[in-house]
Structure formats: structure tokens, C-alpha cells
Structure 1
Amino acid sequence: MPTIARRVAQLSQLRSDRAERFVVDGKPILLVRDGDTVHAYSADCPHAGAPLEEGALCHGRIICPWHKATFDVATGNVLEPPALVALDRYPVVVAGDDVMVTPEKLPQPVRNASELKPHYVVIGAGAAGAAACAALRECGFSGHLTLIGAEPHAPYDRTALSKFVPSGEMPAADVPPLLPQDWFERHDVERIVGNVARLDVPGRTIHFETGGKLTYDTALLATGSVPKLPAIPGVDLGGVHVLRSLDDAAALVDAIGDDAGQTQVAILGSSFIGLETASALRKRGTPVTVISPEKVPFAKQFGERAGVMFRELHERHGVVFRLEAKVASLEGEEGDVHEVMLENGDAISADLVLLGTGVAPATGFVEGLPLQKDGGVIVNAGMQAAPGLYAAGDIAAFPLHDDEEPLRIEHWRVAQQHARIAAENMCGARHRYAGVPYFWTYHFGKRFEYLGHANEWDEIVIDGDLDQQQFVALYVKDARVIAALACEREAQTARLIDAMARGVSRADALAMISDASCVAQ
């Protein structure tokens, strides 16, 4: 029996600058007015469930408040990650001033392979790999598509590993996948679990550690990074951990066990992974000492004042810092670590050590392609590295701006932005990276967002209270906003990231973050 349309709202009461949430037969539905047309979509972001009406509606784009996924107002299709699938759509009829919605979602298109050629391969089953597969099928690629990854798990949300798994808020087994469980099968994407021993770029051939090989027509290299192990004695002791994969996170939680309050943890490095994990462990009452050669955490990324704010936030929650300190060795008993020795002779007790000492591009297997000294892959603005080869994510050194040298940005969402552009170009487009880098970091229940990228700035303009973690800090160069750091200002940053893509002045940005709406132009 067909579902009957429900009268949900009046057209005259719907605003064109703000989406609104309604519940229709128990289903949360988002209404978006576009002139005299109204669109009805699922009200929560398919990435992590954020309420989309709390984000922004700008320039024909619906922008998620939490992680800045962006959708087309007219279609609900993905424009920017981290969402990888379109919004569910519902039939709408406008009769006079009445807006009628049928609460039965329209079917999403499923794009399958219809031929064996050409053969595209995505090497790396992380954020970029999943985004590339989704975008390739979305763009109409109907050839043979293969995704290669070293982990047996389908691509998952790696950001949870340092934010929620060590605290016990999310068991490792519950880390969400990036795409629905049956997506790869429904869209005819072949998955190969294995390690690549050698990539012959000129020969377009992949050689596996098991001895097999695979040829391709075009490939996307999206292998991400591997943790750097510091060259110090004792780094191979039991109880020394890295945190990069789902299995790493599970091993860390298992090592701490049920007696979290008595397990002393030393974290080497004041990186984002290190301090996010420190925050998560302190939620369980675990004693944590952070050892770092830096004077102030995050000062390079955010400036000294913001760095001090982060340090003081951690100290108020019991994290002990040993800054401007260098590690001489890790000492053990019966093969397991028990203390960290500093170069000044101090000894810090540790039942477990987490290495937060940085990462390096996972490109050691690439042959026939010049790499940067650090292993980075140089790509053009279309993410192409060589004929038949594209690269995305941590490994990709790309031109963020035309007048600057290529750089690598190790952000999860940037990897997905890269992947979408690469996939579009693999399907015949000629798109260039023109997005705004974005990432978020989570400390003691506070979500900090960073928009853009700034190596240097003329001034930092703060709107709000930095010490209370309720603010937007604008990083200004030549009177233009090149980056922003914010906390508890998610609707404002949704509007700001849209403006930064077009270029925004200091004055206009300040006006925008104090305004309550964004009118489409």
C-alpha cells in the first residue's frame, strides 16, 4: 500500500538561508527551500549523524556542523567529504502554500561494473581509498575496480582510534566503517587483503609479498603513513606501542587491561595522536606523562598562546608534562618496559609507552617514480603523479596554492578531498584541488576545529574566550584569513569554511562569525 504524503510545513514559513528539521512518521527529515522548490532529505549527516540543520546553508551547499561534509542543495549528493554517500531523498510536493512530504525515501542509485576494462586499482584501504571507490562509482566508472589494503577490516573511521577507543567509550570492534557493510559487494568493488611488495610505476604492475602480481590501467596510490620509531635503545621492548591501526588500538586497550588507574603510561611526543590519547586515557583515570622536546604543544600549528591553552587544559585534567626533554633510552625488566630515561638523568616510571613521534609516507615499495626526501609523492593540482598513476592523502605533496611549493598535509579529511578529485579526473574530468583543509581534534570533551593551513601569519584575531574553549581564532596574512581554530562555534565554522574557499578578509570573517545566518548568493 503506497505511503500517503503528509502536510509538513508552509512554504511561506520556510527560510531560504536555513534548513529545518521535521519529524514525519517518526523519521527525521530536513526541509531545504530553494526558491519556490523544497527538497526533503535525511536530517542527519550520513558520516557521523550530525544534525544538519545546525550547520550552514550557503551558495547551494548544505554544510555539516561537525566535520564539514558538504552536500548539493538540489540533489543531496556529496560535494565534500567526510561523508561518502548522498543524503537520502524523500518525495516533496508544494501545493499552494502547503509542503507535502512522503516519508518513504527514494532509492539510491547503485552503480555496478558492466565490463572488465579498464581496470582501476586503489592501493590503500583507508580514508582516501574508501572515498576514491565511492567517487569512482558515483562518477559513472563501470570498469573493473579493485581496492587493495593490508588490514582485513573494511575501511573504517581511523579518527576514533585516539579519541574514543583508549577511553573505553568505543570498543575497537565498534569503530564504524566508512561505507555501509555491503557497499563494496553491491557496487562490484573487488577487495584484496595483502601487502604490496613492489609497485612498478612504468610497467603499471603491482607485485604482492605473497608472490602474485596485478596489472592495471590506472591506479590511485593512497597508502597513508607509517609510525616513525625513534632511534633510542629499548624501543623494541614489550609494552612499547604505536597507534595507527584498529589492531594497534585494540592492543593498547588490552595492555592497559581492567586496572587502568594503576597503569602508568608515558607518551613520547606531544603530537595530536599523543595528546588525544592522553585525554582519552585520563578519562579512565590512567596516570599519563607526556615527554616532548617541544616547549609548548601545538605552538607550530596554532601559535604559542593557543598551545599554552591546550597544555593547561591537559594539566587541569591530570596530565603531567615533561617538556623540552629528550629521551635517552627505554629501560626494561624481563623484556618489558618499566621506565623512560631522559638525557638529564631523570627516570620516569612507565608500565606502557606510546610512541607519538610522528609518521612517514608509506611509499618504500614504489619504483620508477621520483620521491621527495621524506618519501612524499609529488602530484599536480589534479592529484596526478605520473601517467596512469594518481596519489592522495598523507603521501601526496600537492600545490595548496599556485604560488607555493607542494606540501603534504596529514589530515584525514584532506585525504578524502584528494581522493574525490583524483577519482573525478580518472573518469575524465580536469578538476584541481581548490578546497579548504580541515581537521578536528578532541580533548576532554572539547571539539577543536582547524580550517585552512597556515605556516606563518601576521596576526591572530580571537573572537570569544580562548581559555574557556569558546572561541574562533582567525589567522590573518596580508589582511586575509588563511586559517582558523575554533571550539564550540560549529555553525560559524560551517559558514567560514565556505567563505574561505572563495577568499575572505579579516573584516568580513569577523562579521560572518558574529552573524546568525548565511544568505546564498
Structure 2
Amino acid sequence: MTTDTNNTNDTNNTNPQNSSMQKVARLSGLADNSMKRVEVDGTPILLIRRGDAVRAYGADCPHAGAPLEQGALCNGRLVCPWHKGTFDIDSGALVEPPPLLPLTRYPVRVTQDDVLVDSMPEPASIATASASDARTFAIVGAGAAGGAACAALREAGYAGRVVLIDREPRTPYDRTVLSKFVPSGEMSPEKIPSLLPDDFFEKHAIDLIQAEVTALDARAKRIDIGSAPSIHYDAALVATGGIPKRLPLQGADDAAVKARVRLLRNRDDARQLVDVAAQSEHALVLGASFIGLEVASALRERKLRVTVVSPGNVPFEKQFGPELGRLFMRLHEAHGVRVRMGRQARAVAPRDPGDADGALRVTLDNGDSVSCDFIVAGTGVTPATDFIQGVTRNGDKSLDVDESMRVMEGLYAAGDIARFPLHAPIDERTRIEHWRVAQQHARIAVNAMLGRPPAEPFVPYFWTYHYGKTFDYLGRAAHWDETRFTGTPDTFEFIALLGDKGKLVAAVGCNREKQIGMLAEAMRKPLSVADAMAIATAD
């Protein structure tokens, strides 16, 4: 039997002695619906067997290099173990971010029982600009959604003009590391990885404009960027994220205080945080948000003393419930963080006016005070939509969108600014501030901009990182009436299933990457808690 499974129809390669293909495995040694990592001329390659067919792809996820053989195969898809990027098994095409490009394909042939693979990849096919398509698509905001939209447009074959506008000078980069790895010193601000190859925008003729958008007239389909000529578009995607809220502290506007308050929204913020942390001993984190506690974890890696002040009973109670919230609090306390829950900061002032050390004293609502060298503020964001004209905003400045992320004719929104209808696993209109959801939004919007039918329902997902442990969260639980565990939460190997009237609404997991990947696919449709438990306990 000779089977060409990756469409390499070169008949000269039928005889392995006359080709560059190398034997890497036996078909009989590969279980059906299984994966195996091999090397060909030093290139790591992933073999996937389905029936008598074998596919060969790059073995590491194009997003962050995760070993894909540790992921999950389900519904004809491969789910990355780390961040749940999803690919079609038969073609390698991207299904779900955070990767923004498809898997690299390698020629593979099955001859009798031998599996042969070539280390030279098949050529990628992504469109570039063409004068035959006179349309202009504009993307405002070069974050996670902006990068995803650029890649998705060219991947889909769109050959018109693409304009990407952002105030920052560098192409889209991975902002998740800003709170996870940069404050600890594990990664420098200069080494933050890009979301796309450095030559992607030039190679695919995407116009990068570094500028502040002063106005977007949604009815005239016009974008103004100061003194430069306005851009007239056929369709526009706005993905501008959020603006950090003002620190609600008496004395926060004092110049000496401002110099010691750090936000964390971009690379410059991260650089300033690292600089002040290198000169400090004690950090105060305001707000037990995901970013706030990730920064607390990272600063403890630097051996700084860290105090967290936040209202509420336990961290993440709204998202995960009290039991899991206490688990996170115990984890931080075990690593030396002083957690002051149920408290709010009311005022801040220099500890010793006139003292050159710059230390601060923060007064809490019960009269206690905390001395610190600097403050990390995690008080939330306001959607950045003030520049958009001709649209209706919600009270929080977000924009309502439909299932295609459409605000109005020719205008789409993604990410933090979009309040969208969510149908899986529950029906609600919501706003989610996470970059992977923003990327999913962008891909949905691109489909609509190109007049394509909507994709299948997506499942919200994010991950949070504390003291070397990654916690995965699937779905969105506005309310739930039961929490069922498998594994052992105290040893941080578990999945918690949050159910409402027997229906799964969310899942939280730690060190259960394969099962979480399988749940991510299963949750595209309504799923009972009982069926979810069967998946969560599968080998």
C-alpha cells in the first residue's frame, strides 16, 4: 500500500530510495486517533493518525511553542495543551487562537507499513494585496484582536487593502506576559514575543500606521488621524481595548505619589514597573484581580514583600466561587503574600514628606495604614470608544454588537469594548476582558466583513498563572448552583465543574490540560454536568 496523505502528488517520491523522505515510524505502531512526535533532519514533526491516513505537522504550537503531542484530539481537531489553540487535523488550518497562523505541513507518505516524512515543509498559501480588489478594510488597535484580524483576512484570501492603526510603534505582541513573566524578571520587556512573524505585515502588504485616531465617523466610514489624510473604509474593526480607571484614592494626584503608582497595560508600563521594582522592597497591589494577583506572584519571585488589598471575601469569588477563591488565597499566603480582603484603600500620601526615599503610606477604610515603596493598581478599565462618532454607547462606554460582532453597517467591534451575545454555554449578553476572547471576536468579525456565514459557537477561555501553576477557565458562569470536583484541589491537580440546573456553565482546571482541551470542544454545544464529568475523568 502506498498512500499520499498530505497531498504531495510527486510520483518520483514513490520509491523512498529516490526521495528526500525518511522513514520515521510504522503505521502499525501508531494507534488510531493518536499522535507521535518524531524528528527528521533535526526538525520536530508531529504525526497524527486517523484510520489509515497520517498527517505530518510542525510539532510545536506556533503561538508559544507548546509540545502539541501533549494536547487533545477530538472532533477532528487538535487542541494545544497550554493555551487551547485549536487546529483542523486534516488540513492544519487554524480553528481557534491564540496562534494566528496554521500549522506547518510536511509531505508524508505511507508505503506498506512505513511512514515516510520529508523535512522540507509544504509551501504556505496566504493571500496578499492585489489591485483587482479595490476595497479598504481598516483595523483600529494593534492588540490581540487587531493582529488576529490581519492574519484572518489574508488567510481567508482577502486581497484588498488592510490598514492597521495603533499608537504603539511595534507590531502586535503578547500582552499576557506583561503580568505573568515580565515583573518577575523571567522575561525582559524587550523580549516580549510578537504575535506574528516580524515580516508578516510587509510580506502580506498590510499598511501599518503609527498614529492616534482622533475620530472615526461610523456613518461616513471615515477615520481621521490628525493632520494626515483621512482613511475611507469599506469596513472597519475597532479593537482599542480599555483605558485604566483613575485610582480612587485621596492624594493620588500628588506628584510624589504618581511617580510611585504603576499600571500595567502595555510594554512601557511593564518597563516602568520593572524599574521601580528593582529599587524597592515592598509592593502594594490594589485589587485582587487576575492581573493583580499575577503581578503579586511575579514580584514574590523577585523576593519583594507584597501586600494585596481588595474588597470581597476571597479572590475570584465572583468567577470561581468561595471554595476555589480560598484555594487561590491560600496559595498566595503560602508564598508570603499578605492578603487584606474585605478592605479598601481610601488615601495615599508620602510616608515622610520631604524624605528622598519616596515611600508611601496608604490608609485603609478601617483606619489601618500600609507602608510600601510603590503601588500596582488593578482597578479595571473603561472601554476606549470616545473617538467613535455616530454610534450608541452603553453606560460603561462599551458597544453592543450582534453575533457577527457588527455594531452597524460597515463597523465591527472586538475585545474589551464589545458587549456581545454569548450562547455557549449559556445565553446572555456580556463583555469579557481577555485577549483570547478578543482574538475570537476578530475572527468572527472577519467572516462577516467578507460576507461569509458565521462560524460555530465559540467557548470563552482564559488562563491565569501563579507560582508556576497555570489555571484554565472555560465558559462563563454568571451564576451556578453546584460545583463538582475531580482530582485534588489541594495539590493543584483538579477540574472543577460549575453547573446550573444540571447544565455545565464553566470549568476550572489545573494540571489537567488534555481534559480541559476536550471540554473546550465539547462545550460548543450544551453539555450536562454528568457528561462533563465523564470527559474530565477520561485518561
State TM-score, norm by structure 1.
0.96
Separation in structure 1 between the aligned mates of residue 77 and residue 251 of structure 2, nearest angstrom = 52
Alignment match of 1:169 (pick from 186, 190, 206) = 186
1:200 corresponds in structure 2 to 217
1:211: Cα distance to partner?
Answer: 5.9
1:263 corresponds in structure 2 to 281
Q: Deviations over 1:283-333 (max 9, x none)?
A: 110111111122211000000010011001000101111221121111024
SS at match of 1:151: coil
Alignment match of 1:149 (pick from 166, 179, 183) = 166
Specify whether residues 344 and 211 from structure 1 end up closer, same or farther in structure 2 by C-alpha distance, changes over 3 A only: farther
Q: Deviations over 1:256-303 (max 9, x none)?
A: 22x4xx521111111111000000000110111111122211000000
Matches within 5 A, 1:496-515: 496-515=519-538
Separation in structure 2 between the aligned mates of residue 339 and residue 48 of structure 1, nearest angstrom = 40
Pairing 1:28–2:44 present: yes
Matches within 5 A, 1:407-486: 407-431=430-454, 434-486=457-509
2:511 is matched by which residue type in structure 1?
A: E
1:360 is matched by which residue type in structure 2?
A: T
1:250 corresponds in structure 2 to 271
1:295 corresponds in structure 2 to 313
1:430: Cα distance to partner?
Answer: 2.3
Separation in structure 2 between the aligned mates of residue 508 and residue 324 of structure 1, nearest angstrom = 37
Which one is further off, 321-330 or 278-287? 321-330
Select the structure with the greater relative contact order (CA < 8 A; seq sep ≥ 6): 1
State TM-score, norm by structure 2.
0.92
SS at match of 1:181: coil
1:307 corresponds in structure 2 to 325
Specify whether residues 337 and 329 from structure 1 end up closer, same or farther in structure 2 by C-alpha distance, changes over 3 A only: farther
Separation in structure 1 between the aligned mates of residue 59 and residue 338 of structure 2, nearest angstrom = 42
2:205 corresponds in structure 1 to 188
1:235: Cα distance to partner?
Answer: 2.1
Contact 2:34 2:50 in 1 (8 A): no
Pairing 1:278–2:296 present: yes
Contact 2:292 2:378 in 1 (8 A): yes
Matches within 5 A, 1:49-448: 49-115=65-131, 117-210=134-227, 212-236=229-253, 237-257=258-278, 259=279, 262-332=280-350, 333=353, 336=358, 338-401=360-423, 404-431=427-454, 434-448=457-471
Separation in structure 2 between the aligned mates of residue 209 and residue 161 of structure 1, nearest angstrom = 30
1:231: Cα distance to partner?
Answer: 2.9
Equivalent residues, number:
513
1:210: Cα distance to partner?
Answer: 4.6
1:519 corresponds in structure 2 to none
Contact 2:126 2:157 in 1 (8 A): no
Contact 2:57 2:92 in 1 (8 A): yes
SS at match of 1:502: coil
Separation in structure 2 between the aligned mates of residue 293 and residue 474 of structure 1, nearest angstrom = 26
2:497 is matched by which residue type in structure 1?
A: L
Q: Deviations over 1:455-485 (max 9, x none)?
A: 1112000101112211000011121211100
2:317 is matched by which residue type in structure 1?
A: A
Separation in structure 2 between the aligned mates of residue 56 and residue 322 of structure 1, nearest angstrom = 40
1:212: Cα distance to partner?
Answer: 4.5
Which one is further off, 381-390 or 340-349? 340-349
2:191 is matched by which residue type in structure 1?
A: D
Contact 1:3 1:104 in 2 (8 A): no
Separation in structure 1 between the aligned mates of residue 519 and residue 149 of structure 2, nearest angstrom = 26
Q: Deviations over 1:102-146 (max 9, x none)?
A: 111112124210026200000010000000000001111100100
Pairing 1:39–2:55 present: yes
Separation in structure 2 between the aligned mates of residue 271 and residue 370 of structure 1, nearest angstrom = 29
SS at match of 1:447: strand
Q: Deviations over 1:153-208 (max 9, x none)?
A: 21000000000000000001001000001001001000011111211111111122
Contact 2:359 2:371 in 1 (8 A): no
Q: Deviations over 1:208-235 (max 9, x none)?
A: 2456422111100111112111332222
Which one is further off, 475-484 or 379-388? 475-484
2:530 is matched by which residue type in structure 1?
A: A
Separation in structure 1 between the aligned mates of residue 429 and residue 499 of structure 2, nearest angstrom = 21
Contact 2:464 2:471 in 1 (8 A): yes
1:414: Cα distance to partner?
Answer: 0.7
Alignment match of 1:491 (pick from 509, 514, 522) = 514
Contact 1:18 1:56 in 2 (8 A): no
SS at match of 2:430: coil
1:254 is matched by which residue type in structure 2?
A: D
Moved over 6 A (4+): none
Which segments of 5 or more consecutive residues in structure 2 lack a partner in the other structure?
A: 1-17
Identity of aligned residues (%): 49
Please give the root-mean-square deviation of Cα atoms over the aligned residues, in Å.
1.7
Contact 1:438 1:451 in 2 (8 A): yes
Contact 2:33 2:51 in 1 (8 A): no
SS at match of 2:515: helix
Which one is further off, 173-182 or 5-14? 5-14
Contact 2:497 2:508 in 1 (8 A): yes
1:15 corresponds in structure 2 to 31
Separation in structure 2 between the aligned mates of residue 76 and residue 401 of structure 1, nearest angstrom = 27
Specify whether residues 391 and 3 from structure 1 end up closer, same or farther in structure 2 by C-alpha distance, changes over 3 A only: farther
1:17: Cα distance to partner?
Answer: 2.2
1:81: Cα distance to partner?
Answer: 0.4
Q: Deviations over 1:7-35 (max 9, x none)?
A: 11122222232211111221111011132
Specify whether residues 3 and 291 from structure 1 end up closer, same or farther in structure 2 by C-alpha distance, changes over 3 A only: farther
Contact 1:421 1:433 in 2 (8 A): no
Separation in structure 1 between the aligned mates of residue 243 and residue 284 of structure 2, nearest angstrom = 20
1:438 is matched by which residue type in structure 2?
A: Y
2:274 is matched by which residue type in structure 1?
A: V
Separation in structure 1 between the aligned mates of residue 81 and residue 191 of structure 2, nearest angstrom = 23
Separation in structure 1 between the aligned mates of residue 28 and residue 282 of structure 2, nearest angstrom = 61
